[in-house]
């Protein structure tokens, strides 16, 4: 009633110096990521919302991204890199391939539970982020699936996992882990048992796969 703020919470950021136009690009990406994580829904992130969060106007975003799809695609790439960091760190800390497999599983689940909205965007929403898709090759690399296959192969070579196609085995392992993360995220209201379900599942998977 007392007419406090002029518009919405529109704090204008200062215009970048001559050579620093790319700085806005980073700020847009960061803001889009924040909003995506906050809402967990690509549809809920709007160009206008991002612009307001950054403190610029909507058209400015088109100086750095062709359209909304390209913006969201870039955000996803960042999330994938974060996931890679999780599993990379985990697998680096063990020499035994079976231990490494276990640790990677735990790291994967931990990434999902600590970044549920990011996980939702990466694996739970339709793969059309805007118009753009990730192709098969990109997916292989980005989802750290390559590392998983290699680790499984090492286990098989060492005679620790029953002989079989490493790729297929890696798929079943990934599938099981993904099921856990996605259900814990989308159905937090389900009366989950009061045990460490992650360990429970990983041990079940291990037992199902080991020699």
Partner DNA sequence: TGTACATCAGTGAACGCGCGTTCACTGATGTAC
Contact positions vs its own copies (CB under 8 A): 40-41, 43, 120, 123-127, 133-136, 139-140, 165, 167-168, 171-172, 174-180, 182-183, 186-187, 189-193, 195, 197, 200-201, 204-209
Instruction: Specify the residue, 16 or 197, whose C-beta has the smaller distance to its own copies.
Output: 197
Which tokens hold the place of 16? 């970048």
Q: How many residues bind DNA (CB under 7 A)?
A: 26
- Pick one of DNA, its own copies, none as the site partner of residue 46 (Cβ within 5 to 8 A by kind): DNA
Taking CB under 7 A as the rule, does residue 56 contact DNA? Answer: yes
Of 9-17, 164-172, 175-183, 191-199, the segment contacting DNA by CB under 7 A is 9-17
Min CB(134)–DNA separation in Å: 19
Residues with Cβ within 8 Å of 49's Cβ and at least 6 positions away in sequence, in order, are 35
Min CB(46)–DNA separation in Å: 3
Residues that bind DNA (CB under 7 A): 12-13, 15-21, 23-24, 45-49, 56-60, 62-63, 67-69
């Amino acid at each position: 009633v007392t007419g406090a703020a002029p518009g919405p919470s529109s704090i204008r950021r200062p215009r970048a110096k001559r050579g620093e136009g790319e700085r806005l690009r980073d700020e847009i990406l960061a803001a889009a990521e924040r909003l995506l994580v906050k809402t967990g829904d690509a549809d809920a992130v709007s160009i206008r919302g991002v612009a307001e969060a950054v403190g610029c106007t909507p058209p400015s975003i088109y100086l750095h991204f062709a359209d909304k799809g390209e913006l969201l695609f870039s955000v996803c790439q960042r999330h994938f890199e974060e996931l890679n960091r999780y599993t990379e760190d985990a697998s680096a800390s063990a020499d035994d391939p079976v231990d490494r497999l276990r640790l990677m599983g735990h790291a994967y689940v931990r990434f999902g539970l600590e970044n549920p909205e990011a996980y939702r965007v990466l694996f739970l929403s339709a793969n059309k982020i805007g118009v753009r898709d990730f192709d098969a090759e990109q997916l292989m690399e980005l989802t750290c699936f390559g590392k998983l296959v290699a680790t499984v192969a090492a286990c098989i070579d060492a005679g620790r996992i029953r002989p079989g196609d490493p790729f297929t085995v890696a798929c079943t392992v990934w599938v099981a882990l993904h099921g856990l993360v996605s259900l814990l995220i989308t159905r937090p209201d389900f009366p989950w048992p009061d045990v460490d379900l992650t360990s429970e599942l990983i041990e079940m998977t291990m037992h199902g796969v080991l020699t």
